[in-house]
Every structure is written in C-alpha cells, then in structure tokens.
A and B are shown apart, each in its own frame.
Chain A
C-alpha cells in the first residue's frame, strides 16, 4: 500500500559539471621531485603530482578523479550550490584560533633574579645570590595577583621563574596561598609550575609543592659533561645535584609531576643522540629540543650567533631520529616540539604554545611580572629590557592598571605585527598554519617586530623542521608513520596503518 515508487537516479545525476569549481583559500609549495604540496587555511594538506596541480589550477581537473575527490573532501575546492564546505572550514578555523578565547592564561612571576648557576646562555642576566634587592616584594606580588585574576581565562597557569626561584621560596609560598585564597571566589582552574634548577630543593618545599599540586620544570641539557659545561654551578657538580634532586622530587611528588627542558648551545650540537639517551635513561617521557634565543647573556657571550639555524635543523633531525630509536626499543618518549607541530598538521585543534601562534602569544597568551613590578609581554622582551631596551615594557603593576597594560599601544603594536596572515613572506607560505612568530626576536636580530623572512633564522629553523616532519609522515617505515601521529593525537597507536597519512 502506498509504496513510494520513484525512479532511482544514476551517479551522473549528482555529479557537478566538469570545470565548475571554485578555489577555497590555500597556499602551496614546490616539493622535491615532481610534487607540489597544497595546504589550506586550517592546515589540511595534500601532496599532488605537479601536473595534477596544474590541471587543478586551470580548472581542468575532472570530478571523477581521486585527486578531485580528495581536494574537495579536504576543502580546497567547492562546487555546486553547497554551503557545507564553508561551514566546515569556518568551524575548523574557529577551533584553530580558539587559543585566543581565554586571553592571557600563562602568568609568569619572576620572583628573584638571584641565582646559584652561571649558565652560558642565561636569558636572565642573573645576579649572584647575595643581592636581596633583586627579589619581588610582597606588595608587587599582591598587585600582580590582582592582575592575574583580571584575565578572563577560565584556566590559569602561574609559573615561577627567576634567577633561581627556590632562592625566594617564601615569595612562592605566599603567592600560591594568595592565589588560592582569591580563587575560592573566582573558581578558575589554577595550575602552579616552578621552573627551577633543583639545587635548592628541601623537604619542606617538597611538602608544600605536594599539598598544592605544583608542577616542577627543570633543565637538563644532556649528559653530565655537556650539562655542566653549559650550566656551571661555581660550587658544585650541577648535573649530579640536579639528577639526585630529580629522584627526590619524583619520590615525593610522583613521576608525572616533573618535566625537563633542554637548551641547545653550540657545544650541544655535537651530541644530539647523547642528549636524547640521557633523557631516556633518566626516565623522562618527553623531551623538548629547543634552540637558544639571542638574548641576555646569550648575546653577550656570542651564543646567539655561534651557530646557524641550519646547523640546528641538522642537530634536531638527528635528535629526533634518536628519539624514534628510543621508542622502537620500547620506551615511550615524545619529542615535544614535533608534537606541537604535528598537532597543528594532523588535527583541527589549537595548541597552547605561545611561540607558535598567529598572532603570537606575547601578552595575549602569556605575560611576565618582573621582580620590580614591570610587566612584559614575554620573557624575551624582559631580556631586552635587561640589556637596556625597554621598548616592550607594557607597564608597571604599581603605576598602571589592567586596561593600560593589556590594552595599551605597546602590546597592540606587538600583536598586530605578529599576525602571520599579514606578514610579508609568511602570508604566502604553505607552512603558515603550522608556524608562528617571534616578534621580539625579529626586533632584536633584524630591527623591527615584523622582521625579514629571507634572513630570518626562525624561518630557516621552522621550515627545515616542518619539511622534515612531512618526510617522516610519508616514511616507508610503518613504525614511524604511526608513531609521529600518535604524539599529535595524545595516545598510543591502537592499530597499524597500511598507508601514510595523506
């Protein structure tokens, strides 16, 4: 009864007309051999034979070809009267830029400039331990905490840096307590972190950190000889002390509460594999292979210019290869720099890493309250001030209010100069959705916040690394093909894939 008798239509009744497609925004890059890489505004990508790319550009690509279907599904072209591709792109774009939503989430308190180490690349222009006037006063801390809660971010991270912040442990304690007290009303998610060389850790401090769930971030540059050469402590063996205290901290707080960063110096460049193995031996599950920034003592000692970005890229590739080897041996070790980039390449999600964002996270993502109350958009701009150039000081907690600091001209110029989409060189680059901007570094090395791509070490470094990651994703080795995406997805691979991610 009443069956619906409609004729069934064939596929060609649903196909768009050949040539009847328009382009959605994308950028491209000639790749090695006969391939061209296309990347859309939200980081979806395809490798096309260059001949096919040409057909695509000339609107000769037929709707029945696999490449047409892939380009359509990945939002490189649209055809017909549909609006769904625009909706989907819009959703991904909003998601990618959603790191802007909460505004400033990371609040760095430089509680003291005093330090017991004399690290060669120190960005802090540290002073020796004896000078108390380089500590943050309670009044300054209090005003800074007020500013922290002026941020709308639902999730706040308060990080203590220095010098060596544990030399001013009393400040840390009172700031943590003050923040928690305020937060009873504010009801945000708050996370505390202490960036420390661990030489001064005591049981009393560990107990406090345990009670308040404080995370520890320490520095380990590599095996003992290298670490001590980079990070000399005039009185003791830094590596030995750090490792011993690392054990103490893990026992007291738990393995997952401590992480480590490394900094690469010209001396480090010869030891990529040794550095990675040191991290594996020390039982870390993550290593962040970063280069040195050209500030502070780094500039004075010539560290900044002592190696070229290209050398760093080679160093990085070898280190990453060693990390993969460590994983192959059964030890789960993530390289964090790759993880951030891969997350941008393989998922629609944003990352919170302020140095790889457009606009840069300076001020709008992270802010620094110096021991003297001066407020800076980033560590780098604070460094610049220590070297005599206060161009990027946003204000002072005692003299300016929230609106003047975060709504002022200095921050505005900094942020608007770091939007890659409007930056010469970057705006045409296929890697734009993956990359970031370091406006202070541009200013320090090239004279203005926008900088000049052709001579930019930042550019060479990132292009080299991103290119390398693409090569690894397309590796013939299935272990590598599954391992790297698993870092982006934040979980172990469950099933082996047969084909590379395309």
Chain B
C-alpha cells in the first residue's frame, strides 16, 4: 500500500510563503505552539486561541469558527481531503494554496530531505528529473525542518537533484545536522562531481560530522560509458577525482551502481576497477532499476530482466567481497537473484514506495524480500517472479 504524502484543503488566512510545523494532536503547556500544526477534528471545542504555526482539520469550517483564529494571525487549512496519514511528530509544509505536504514522517526509518531539484547531470534513468530552479531557494526551509525534528531518527537522507549545487549552504545543513542530530546517520546522495574541487571535499571533512556517508554513483569502469549514462561529458573524470579528494580526507563513501541494459555487461570489470582504484570505499551498493521519471521514458532501452544479468551480478559481487569490499544489493527480488547472493540483499525500498504481487503471498521468503517499487508493478518487473516454495535455507 503506497503511503500518502499530500493532502489538499482550503486555506483560510494568508500565507506569503509556505510554513513548516510539527503535527500535534494534543496541545500541552510544555510544547511551543509556534513549532506545531495542530491537527484537530473538533476546532470548536478548543478552550482558547493558541499561537500555533497553523491549524489543520478535515472539518468544513464556517467563517464564525475561523474568525478568532484569523484574528490571532493563525492560518487554518480546513476541509482537508485526508488526514489519516498524519501522525504526531510528522513535519508538514503548508503552502499558499492549501496544500499540506508531509516532509518528514516521525514513525518512519526512511526520511529524506529533497534539497533541490536542480542537477548538473541528466542521467538516462533519473527517477527525479531535474528542473531549472535556483538550487539554494529552499535552504531556509531545510534548516527549519532539521530544527523541528524532535526525536533524532536513526538515519536521515539528503537527496536531489544534486545537493552539492547548494555549495556552502550544503555545508551549513550538514553542520546543523552534526549539531542537532549527531547520532543520526546522515546519508547524502550526490554525483560527487563538484568534489573535483578539493576545497569542497576538505571543507566537508572539516565539519567532522560523526556519522556521515556520501552515496555516489559510478556506472562503468570506462569514462565514455559512464558519461553516456549520466549524459555529461567529463562527469566520470570529475567523479573519480572527487572520490579521490573525499578519500584523501577520509569521508565515508558508498558507491552506487544502478544495473540496467547499459551498465550490466561490464559490471565485473567495474568491480575490479573499484578494488584497484577505490579500495577505500565503505561499501558498494548494486541497485535494481526504478522505472520512474526518465527511466520510464527510456524503459525499452534500459530495462533488463534481473534474471538475465544474474551471472554478471554474481561475478561482480564475488570480485568485491573476495577482495574485502562490502557489498549490499538493493531493489532485487529474491526469487530472481542467485541464492548465493541472498545474504547481501537488503530489504530496502523506502516504505512509501514498496509493494508485492499477489503471487508473492505464498512465498517462503517474503518477509526478507524488499518487494517492488510501486512504479515497477505499474510498468515493468521481471517475468520470472515466482514464490519460493518450502522452508527458506
């Protein structure tokens, strides 16, 4: 079941720009109301007018009911089309058009902050196609979001677009996480290209975030193959020099390889290249294709049944683990992955994206399997999905 992240309602009061707040069900004296969006189903029962960041309700409110709140300057979004998905601790953004978006789910292990949709690459399989926007436009909002997180999560992601386009503001955000959420593992997805400039790598390392990993994609051991996949000449070079700069300053790195028709053939050679040239990386993540965004548009050229590349996947994993580099396999259903690789498969799809087929109900290893992206079920998945029968080994 996909999880809802947006609701729409009617905004009473004016907002000149979006506001962020933490969902609150029961107001209490020791919580600062300004940080909160009070989610209520009976506004009339309120004993007074609190200085909340905003009010949210599925009720359809009259102007009399709204009047005291508007006079107090508290924006109210009512007649929400949904609210069941909201829970205390969630952090939402309310915009000028009455749209209530969930930016952070308190109950989830998989929260990411989309720093920007601007990007300096243009990957053929990009699941979050770039837009022509000012990369730093939302920095204030991101800083506010980090502040509003009340219970430090186990992990937090920074995604995009390309986070390094925020330049010094990215460093500010990392620093803020280091100060407020030092126990939280901060996982930043980046193409690594701007770390070609050693000062950026050095400045990032200097923050000394205690729990940081950069997830950086590498699609081939050959420059023009990688450049073709990311649609940017020189990207491979920049990324490699960036990786070396990061390695020089001991920034933890996770290399990520999305496996599809254009990247599967030299997967074992890429594995060897990594051992030889990048042995300092923490981990290599081998990932199945998510048919969203540009990937959906290029599906005929990119799609390959994982069953068909299982030999390359096995060989590449063997090269890496025998050498001593850690491997994790993501987004591959267990039934189409060689059994020797099951110990390396991670049940990983973000919980707001994953699902199973009806025929998975009888599968003996369903609870260990990550299932599918919703987009995979809609568009394309392996033709060889079949439940594993009998006790799992």
Contacts and interface: CB of A to CB of B under 8 A. Distances in A.
Interface of A: 1-4, 6, 8-11, 13-16, 44, 63, 69-70, 72-74, 80, 82-84, 87-88, 91-92, 347-348, 482, 485-486, 489-491, 493-499, 501
B176 interface: no
A495 B340 contact: yes
Interface of B: 119, 122, 124, 129-133, 221-225, 227-228, 231, 233-234, 236-237, 240-241, 244, 266, 268-269, 272-273, 275-277, 279, 298, 311, 314-315, 317-319, 321-324, 340-341
B122 A497 contact: no
8 tightest A-B CB contacts, nearest first: A495-B318, A73-B221, A84-B237, A14-B224, A494-B321, A82-B237, A84-B240, A2-B132
A215 to B, nearest CB: 24
A494 B322 contact: yes
Nearest to B118: A4
A83 B237 contact: yes
A486 B277 contact: no
Contacts of A494: 318, 321-322
A115 to B, nearest CB: 42
Contact of A87 (B122, B234, B241, B315): B241
Most chain A CB within 10 A, of B228, B266, B298, B319, is at B228
10 contacts: A2-B133, A4-B119, A73-B269, A84-B240, A84-B241, A486-B322, A494-B321, A495-B322, A497-B322, A498-B318
A9 B231 contact: yes
A497 B227 contact: no
A296 B391 CA distance: 67
A74 B228 CA distance: 20
Contacts of B341: 495
B124 A8 contact: yes
B269 A88 contact: no
B78 to A, nearest CB: 27
B277 A3 contact: no
Given A70-B269, A80-B223, A485-B322, 19 more contacts: A3-B129, A3-B131, A4-B130, A14-B224, A14-B233, A73-B269, A73-B273, A84-B237, A84-B240, A84-B241, A88-B240, A91-B277, A348-B276, A489-B322, A494-B321, A494-B322, A497-B319, A498-B315, A499-B268
A332 to B, nearest CB: 15
Contact of A72 (B222, B240, B268, B311): B222
Nearest to A10: B228
A13 B124 CA distance: 14
A431 to B, nearest CB: 18
Contact of A14 (B228, B240, B277, B315): B228
Contact of B223 (A8, A70, A84): A84
Interface SS of B by simple majority: helix
A365 B319 CA distance: 32
A489 B324 contact: yes
Given A82-B234, A84-B241, A497-B322, A92 B276 contact: yes
A487 B153 CA distance: 41
A348 B278 CA distance: 10
A165 to B, nearest CB: 36
A15 B224 contact: yes
Contacts of A83: 237, 241
B224 A73 contact: no
A412 B18 CA distance: 72
Given A44-B276, A348-B279, A73 B340 contact: no
Given A69-B222, A348-B277, A498-B314, A4 B321 contact: no
Given A3-B131, A490-B324, A491-B324, A499 B240 contact: no
B240 A87 contact: yes
Given A9-B231, A87-B240, A91-B244, A4 B122 contact: yes
A14 B322 contact: no
A94 to B, nearest CB: 11
Contacts of B276: 44, 74, 92, 347-348
A70 B315 CA distance: 17
Contacts of A499: 268, 315
A14 B131 contact: no
A496 B315 CA distance: 8
Nearest to A89: B277
A489 B231 CA distance: 36
A3 to B, nearest CB: 6
Contacts of B279: 347-348
Contacts of A74: 276
Contacts of A8: 122, 124, 231, 298
Nearest to B240: A84
Contacts of A1: 131
Contact of B317 (A2, A4, A495): A495
A14 B227 contact: yes
A272 B122 CA distance: 61
Given A4-B129, A4-B132, A495-B317, A84 B322 contact: no
A482 B315 CA distance: 12
A374 to B, nearest CB: 42
A217 to B, nearest CB: 27
B255 to A, nearest CB: 15
A13 B225 CA distance: 11
A434 to B, nearest CB: 15
Nearest to B130: A4
Contacts of B228: 9-11, 13-14
Given A92-B276, A486-B322, A87 B222 contact: no
A497 B340 CA distance: 12
A482 B231 contact: no
A13 B318 CA distance: 33
Nearest to A42: B276
Most chain A CB within 10 A, of B119, B231, B268, B323, is at B323
A494 B234 CA distance: 36
Contacts of A348: 276-277, 279
A74 B124 CA distance: 26
A497 B313 CA distance: 11
Contacts of A482: 322
A486 B314 CA distance: 17
Given A9-B231, A499-B315, A73 B322 contact: no
A14 B231 CA distance: 9
Contacts of A3: 129-132
Nearest to B338: A495
Given A494-B318, A496-B318, A498-B314, A4 B234 contact: no
A494 B314 CA distance: 12
A88 B225 CA distance: 18
A489 B320 CA distance: 11
Nearest to B273: A73
A129 to B, nearest CB: 48
Contact of B318 (A4, A491, A497): A497
Nearest to A43: B276
Given A69-B266, A83-B241, A6 B322 contact: no
A3 B132 CA distance: 6
Contacts of B318: 493-498
Most chain A CB within 10 A, of B227, B228, B276, B298, is at B276
A63 B223 CA distance: 11
Given A2-B132, A15-B224, A73-B222, A88 B277 contact: yes
Nearest to B119: A4
